[in-house]
Structure 1
């Protein structure tokens, strides 16, 4: 059976011209700040050593080109003079020069690739550490401050380090080549005299000035034609990453899509995402065609340009054939060195787009770090560790919860009510609470009222709101409705966040039996994507088995039994109560059967509701106005 979607998903609006212009900015200072840290890092000695070796090999290649230039002059003079003895000797000499060139070129490529990987390894480690540190990865996803961090870590970092080295080595090679050959070209080209208005103008080293003028004109035209490619390449990477993300998401959710018969809708969505790729690619094609036209014409005309300019002196007898060929070779070297910008522009465009994406990613990480470390972000929920080692309670003081709003806080929020700051929408009125060891709390209320937000705040990953949470030096474990199962062996998934070998096989087998998953014991060493292999109920029971391994002092269950039948749900709760008698258990649940395992209740009520379901009045402060939607009452 097939279905047809009622509406066609079309690509979003085209990127505004201003956004494309912003993405095309050079941002040189920020790019330099991205390059420099590695060369000051703990790996700088090895990196600088490899860089020095690569530079030396580049200089060696330039020296070989100088020898070849001189060889050209002597070789073609020998041909012109029909000197067969010199001809044979020069061929032998060429063989040695060519062999040295090959050895140097291979060595340069090898050690440059080695340096690229060292630099990429260091930058990847640094970005990953900062992305995962202070829950920056979580905060970035909440605020949508950047897209596809996986693509930036995998592709943009590779392109940035590879491009930076290849472009810088190319620039160095061009500078050294220019220095080496400009003197040769100046001497061999000699002066040229031009008649202007009855007087004669003599230009010394005229071929040098022609080479400079030719390269400057070509560079200006190339930049004018090709600059939009930076922004288009930026967008192309973004659209490609979005398309890959949708494909991966479809693969991970293949079963529910199949059950919904959602193939047509998914296909329409994928086609819409690919249409963005195609449209942006069409623009890339147009600008690349113009750039290729400029580059090809520039390169082809450069072949005959020096011969045309030097021909008058050759035909007048002032130049030998060897001298003409030496001028042609030297002009090519000088013009090629001056044309580094033209020749490298396509590579430079892709590299700059990757650099801009990394700069944006780094800025998003910095914002997330600042929110966590200095509370300068859109919220001021402060989570601190208790200084009283005898106090093992979790204490909540004046905690008001909010939801993030895109756009973030204003530039100056000083003195503004924290629950009314720009960048967040107030949700729950401030309340205070103390959760002691061994207590059993049931948290309930309407869907969307902020129950899970409370758990996130207690975990220290939710900054939106206001208040203070004091936590003891005790182990806290949070079991969400959909537990995270890393790709790896079943032992890895069961032991997470510990390593799979952190617990004995006997311990792993024992908790699986206790969680009614004994049939999985034989699969402990099987590598798989277990989130796709286990049913939702099995995944939730695996999370309970994980709790038995971790033995937390505070166990938070966020609808952690929603996929279980009532009998299995009761068995899991009894297992927790009996196996972890001293642990505090705090549960979010809607089923009345869960209430039997708790003796305290935290109930969310809409603002304006005068009582809870049992008829009792509110037990905690109700915020008058303030834009909040819910308040919290406590029942003992």
Structure 2
């Protein structure tokens, strides 16, 4: 899976050069979010006191600053998505060109081989690239925003939060706690995803045979296979239901949590509206980065099941 792309001379430029360009673009866009965080503080301080001298001129100045931050950010994110799509397809092509000749030469029967080459390679490359870039973005966001959140921890009205870097430690604790709980809540999902792909592959194989010759299809067998697909999907829906309930509860709680922490400081005059907006944004960025596994648990579950299927396929080809 990895050697076919990253250890191939043919794909070296795309594998390593493309990866460098993508990481560079992620770094630049993260820095734009840092600039936007600083903009929040000054802009909301202006809105808190709109009657100050030259307030309207400053307002239009902030709008211009926002445009210089937001529009390049949107352009780079769009370009990043475009380049990442090409990157994932090249990775898929490298895997396909490695698997096809080996599959043709082997006499070993691999369940759902056509699906593993056609669909699993596509999904593996796409999900790995997607999750990998997201992880890089999460790490760079932490590096950029932890010092900001640490500095904003001063001026807390809540007594038990009056220590150095309190907001950072709260964000870390809540994220780690949420991730551990997510692991236990969703512990059965990878196995169910794997079984789901297996049952879908068996049904597809029967239907593909029927495309060439309808007489080769055993109707009772096809319906039986579909019943297996139905049962496994319903089981998967049930387990995702309580996992999504937990995930949504956690994400909504984290939106309001910074205001619960900083509200007393705002109303006692220790901080301004701009500071609380900065805290909310920085806390959200840091917590989202720490909670990356929770937010992408469904994708990670799918990737783990695909990896398991392709690993079995490679062993069969060997």
The normalised TM-score by structure 1 is 0.48
Aligned CA RMSD, in angstroms, stands at 1.6
For residue 39 of structure 1, what is the aligned residue in structure 2?
6
Moved over 4 A (4+): 191-196
Distance 2:276 2:162 in 1: 20
After TM superposition, list the pairs within 5 Å mapping 1:511-530 onto structure 2.
none
| Residue 235 in structure 1 maps to residue 187 in structure 2 | no
1:13-55 deviation digits (Å, cap 9, x = unpaired): xxxxxxxxxxxxxxxxxxxxx4244212111123211111111
| Residue 204 in structure 1 maps to residue 204 in structure 2 | no
Contact 2:157–2:264 (CA<8 Å) still a contact in 1?
A: no
C-alpha distance 94-195 of structure 1, shift in aligned 2 (>3 A): closer
| Residue 297 in structure 1 maps to residue 257 in structure 2 | no
Task: Report the number of matched residues.
Answer: 313
Q: How many Å apart are 1:307 and its aligned residue?
A: 0.5
C-alpha distance 210-57 of structure 1, shift in aligned 2 (>3 A): same
Contact 1:148–1:238 (CA<8 Å) still a contact in 2?
A: yes
Structure 2 residue corresponding to 1:118, chosen from 62, 86, 90:
90
Contact 1:193–1:203 (CA<8 Å) still a contact in 2?
A: no
Which one has the bigger helix percentage?
2
Runs of at least 5 residues in structure 1 that lack an aligned partner in the other structure: 1-33, 258-262, 367-636
Contact 1:78–1:84 (CA<8 Å) still a contact in 2?
A: no
Contact 1:192–1:204 (CA<8 Å) still a contact in 2?
A: no
Distance 1:51 1:148 in 2: 31
Q: How many Å apart are 1:204 and its aligned residue?
A: 1.0
1:105-145 deviation digits (Å, cap 9, x = unpaired): 1110111111111111111101112222xx31xx212xxxx
Higher RCO structure, 1 or 2 (CA under 8 Å, sep 6+): 2
Distance 2:4 2:177 in 1: 36
Distance 2:243 2:99 in 1: 34
Q: How many Å apart are 1:286 and its aligned residue?
A: 1.0
Distance 2:44 2:256 in 1: 18
Distance 1:251 1:329 in 2: 55
| Residue 59 in structure 1 maps to residue 66 in structure 2 | no
Contact 2:135–2:292 (CA<8 Å) still a contact in 1?
A: yes
Runs of at least 5 residues in structure 2 that lack an aligned partner in the other structure: none
For residue 71 of structure 1, what is the aligned residue in structure 2?
39
Contact 1:191–1:205 (CA<8 Å) still a contact in 2?
A: no
| Residue 364 in structure 1 maps to residue 316 in structure 2 | yes
Which one has the bigger strand percentage?
1
Bigger radius of gyration among the two: 1
1:540-594 deviation digits (Å, cap 9, x = unpaired): xxxxxxxxxxxxxxxxxxxxxxxxxxxxxxxxxxxxxxxxxxxxxxxxxxxxxxx
After TM superposition, list the pairs within 5 Å mapping 1:404-415 onto structure 2.
none
For residue 482 of structure 1, what is the aligned residue in structure 2?
none
Structure 2 residue corresponding to 1:245, chosen from 195, 205, 212:
205
Distance 2:108 2:280 in 1: 57
After TM superposition, list the pairs within 5 Å mapping 1:479-498 onto structure 2.
none
Structure 1 residue corresponding to 2:131, chosen from 130, 145, 167:
167
C-alpha distance 244-252 of structure 1, shift in aligned 2 (>3 A): same
Distance 2:89 2:139 in 1: 25
